[in-house]
Amino acid sequence: MSCANWKNKHKMNILINDGLSQDAIAHLENNHFKVFQTSVAQSQLLKYLNEQEIHILVVRSATKVDSTIIKEAKYLKAVARAGVGLDNIDLDAAQTHQIKVINTPTASAKAVAELTIAHLLTGVRHLQDSNRSMPLEGESRFKELKKSYSSAKELEGKTLGIIGFGVIGQETAKKAIGLGMRVLYHDIAQTKVTLKLEFYDGQEIEFNLINVSKKHLLEQSDYISLHIPSQEEYLLGEKEFNMMKKGAGLINTARGNAVDEIALINALNTDQLAFAGLDVFESEPNPEVALLMHPQISLSPHIGGSTKEAQTRIGMDLAEQLIKTFKSQH
């Protein structure tokens, strides 16, 4: 809820609670925003917002902006998410109390797409297991390990099915096409997409892709990658895994609650799936040990958008949006 006298302040106060690039912080300060970089615990957040008269709260995925904070933060005018997903922000409450919500849906797309391909390459070349075994047994069992990993596959000529074809899904498709893969996609909104691949020397090539049914994608894809928002129900469970090609692979850099992790473990253990690559987990920040220890799962700790370049883009994108929205109101 807004305080009536916030407009009379010389500067708008911004709390960067989960971090932001220094370039973005400097850009905000140069445009007369007062930036607080204190990392406030969730339990103390509302108190801090009111004591410091915070007008704009900047978060990533760690901080939860629930209805209580939105309703009772007296000076709050906007919540800015440094990233794509908004499932940690109560959007209904924000709309009710006229709190503006800002995010950066395109800034991290290339970084997430590259991590997706990294997990995919790791899976097909057994690197997730090789990187565990070589330090322990590489010196004594080199030839045996070489033989055990000789069943690797190439991505060229294989089919990648992408579920969720927004900006990140499309960036992933571009990189897959660049590797010589065929791409299928399923999306509830995008019926037909023209992808433009831009190369370092200025050349451009366009590819026209058509939306297919989820069933068709599951049945026809060699590998599947998820790029969807938070789900209320599993998108992929036992039924869907059984529809997939035997020996297929799954990459999830989207949201942990999209996949039934128990069904995933069973699919891996029965060789219905050959491997999985996971950057997100149902029980973050405490993933299940069965996932962490599984030799057929490539793992990363929710770092899809965590590159230096992406963080710079995210920060500057967010800063520009805030400056455009609020600068005239100082």
Question: pLDDT at position 62, please?
Answer: 86
Residues 265 and 129 in one domain: yes
Catalytic residue among 255, 261, 294, 313: 255
Residues 151 and 199 in one domain: yes
This prediction has a pTM of 0.88
186 is catalytic: no
| 114-147 CB burial, b ≥16 within 10 A, e <16 | bbbbbbbbbbbbbbbbbeebeeeeeeeeeeebee
Our count of domains for the chain comes to 2
Query: Which pLDDT band, with edges at 50, 70 and 90, does 2 fall under?
Result: very low
User: Domain for residue 82, yes or no?
Assistant: yes
284 is catalytic: yes
| CA atoms of 299 and 119, how far apart (whole Å) | 8
Residues 234 and 248 in one domain: yes
Residues 46 and 143 in one domain: no
* pLDDT > 70 in the chain, percent: 96
302 is catalytic: yes
CATH number at residue 138: 3.40.50.720
Helices (H), 52-205: 67-72, 91-96, 109-124, 127-137, 142-148, 167-178
Residues 40 and 146 in one domain: no
Question: pLDDT at position 328, please?
Answer: 60
Catalytic residue among 53, 72, 238, 284: 284
Residues 169 and 287 in one domain: yes
Tell me which residue range forms the domain holding 273. Answer: 109-299
Residues 18 and 155 in one domain: no
Read off the pLDDT of residues 15-53 as tens digits, 9 standing for 90 and up: 999 989 999 999 999 998 999 999 999 999 999 999 999
In the predicted structure, residue 203 carries a pLDDT above the cut 60: yes
User: Domain for residue 304, yes or no?
Assistant: no
CB atoms within 10 A of CB 310: 21
Find the helix or strand (DSSP H, E) in which 191 lies.
none
Q: At what angle do helices 167-178 and 109-124 cross, to 10 degrees?
A: 50
Residues 69 and 144 in one domain: no
Residues 135 and 167 in one domain: yes
Catalytic residue among 55, 294, 302, 313: 302
User: Domain for residue 1, yes or no?
Assistant: no
